[in-house]
Structure 1
Amino acid sequence: MNNLTLVIANKNYSSWSLRAWLLMTQFKVNFQEIRIPLDTPETPALMNQHSPNRRVPVLKIGKLSVWDSLAICETVNERFLQGAGWPSNPDLRALGRSACAEMHSAFTALRSNMPMNCRRMVKGFKPDAATQADIDRIHTLLSDCLKQTDGPFLLGRFSIADAFYAPVALRLHGYEIESPEPVAAWVDRMLELPALQTWLQEARDEIETIAGEEVPDQA
């Protein structure tokens, strides 16, 4: 596994990078890391060098490049986790894959109005109607997942689904969104993960700032 390299962006802002990084770190997959800061003069050239579609994350397995966080997570699960990234129960796997696909393709208002920012808490945030609809749907979806098992994670033990919704946990916490108890407890569990704590600390240590991702306090 020493020939694995994960190319990511700023840890403070890049939710898609977090998903692949967290899965691999939580399952103790050994990999090297290349970080490409976004919105700098060097960014385009670095993307051209490391990413087939000029986006991150990208997983390099020897000469093979795998891009898109969902493809990376499925590839890691297949090649390096012996399938442990998903539950053994096929119904739970189907539920998890549906949840990840929805995360991958939906929640545009939440993405736009609640960008991930690991360094700060946004005070007094008031979601508009579209963002609130996304929050409500996420609460329902996560609650439904948590009801299927005794936990402590979305599908029982930690899975690709938790990695995919980790940025949501950070958003719910960082924008002080009140969540129903099953979801609030899951957010707390996620924040306690040593792997996620490592990501958060390294995000806080970054020096880059992207102005468009800095939502002002509204209190």
Structure 2
Amino acid sequence: MPATTAPSRARAPARKKAVAAPAARATLTLSSKNYSSWSLRGWLMAKFAGLEFDEVMVPPDDADARRELLLLAPSIRVPCLTHEGAKVWNTLAIAQYLNEICPDAGLMPADRIARAHCRSISGEMNSGFANLRSALPMNLKAHRPGFRIWAGARPDIDRILEIWSDCLARYGGPYLFGAQRTMADAMYAPVVTRFLTYDVKLPADCAEYCRTIMAMPEMKEWIAAAKAEPDEIEELDMEF
């Protein structure tokens, strides 16, 4: 019998592999770079963590932003970090989140005791020093040598200098917890600018710490952007 051949089968087209959509880039919502100390804190934390992000600026006529900048509201949702489905506001919450997703960035000290200390002084900055905020509002374009500091702000200044001196002595500097920048340095960086703007007299160790913070490339980048920002909030030119 003649050999029979198996019926030919049409080859199915190769199935294309599904390509995952690229993850959306993180965004950080910010307010004025010249006036908003909270925006600076959140931005520095993201920079310290090495997170790549796009900036989203709140319009200067935004009512909530104006209330925060004019010291009429203690907290708004700026800065706000959006990253892979998470939306995080409040600088302490942003710091904790960044520490989770970038554990090797060193936003918190490795030592348990130092880490607790870092959290404590960061929390103190987050919730305290109201008199300092109202008496010495952040204004990176201004310099007011000989500024007369309201007596009510003096205890806040003294407490901050106490914190700095203690940390620098305990951990050896040049940053608050040693050689590594942490969330605490981001939290206190706007205070550094306030002390320089209003010519606050500082002990030698604290003055050196201020120079260290101001020399960071991130601070230079932020301040350059702040000085290029239009003066759109005239009320903040008043004397406090």
What TM-score results when the alignment is normalised by the length of structure 2? 0.81
Residues 62-211 of structure 1 aligned to structure 2 (within 5 Å): 62-82=84-104, 84-156=106-178, 157-211=180-234
1:2 to partner: Cα distance: 5.3
Is residue 8–residue 58 contact of structure 1 (8 Å, CA) maintained in 2?
yes
Runs of 4+ aligned residues of structure 1 deviating over 6 Å after TM superposition are: none
1:37 to partner: Cα distance: 3.3
Q: Separation in 1 of the partners of 2:42 and 2:127?
A: 17
Amino acid at match of 2:233: I
1:45 to partner: Cα distance: 9.4
Amino acid at match of 1:168: V
Amino acid at match of 2:152: A
Deviates more, 1:27-36 or 1:181-190: 27-36
1:46 to partner: Cα distance: 9.6
The verdict on how the C-alpha distance between 1:122 and 1:44 changes in structure 2, with shifts beyond 3 A counting, is: same
1:18 to partner: Cα distance: 0.5
Cross-structure match for 1:50: none
Q: Separation in 1 of the partners of 2:82 and 2:63?
A: 19
Does 1:60 find its partner at 2:75? no
Amino acid at match of 1:160: M
The verdict on how the C-alpha distance between 1:16 and 1:46 changes in structure 2, with shifts beyond 3 A counting, is: closer
Q: Which runs of 5+ in 2 are unaligned?
A: 1-22, 67-74
Task: Indicate the SS of the match to 2:29.
Answer: strand
Is residue 6–residue 34 contact of structure 1 (8 Å, CA) maintained in 2?
yes
Is residue 19–residue 163 contact of structure 1 (8 Å, CA) maintained in 2?
yes
Task: Indicate the SS of the match to 1:82.
Answer: helix
For the pair shown, the structure with the greater C-alpha radius of gyration is: 2
Q: Separation in 1 of the partners of 2:121 and 2:232?
A: 31
Matched residue pairs, number? 209
Cross-structure match for 2:69: none
Q: Which runs of 5+ in 1 are unaligned?
A: 48-52
The C-alpha deviation readout for 1:79-103, integer Å capped at 9, x for no partner, is: 1243611111111111111101110
Q: CA RMSD in A?
A: 2.2
1:216 to partner: Cα distance: 3.9
Task: Indicate the SS of the match to 2:196.
Answer: helix
What TM-score results when the alignment is normalised by the length of structure 1? 0.88
Q: Separation in 2 of the partners of 1:28 and 1:188?
A: 23
Q: Separation in 2 of the partners of 1:109 and 1:211?
A: 22
Higher relative contact order structure (alpha carbons within 8 Å, sequence separation ≥ 6): 1
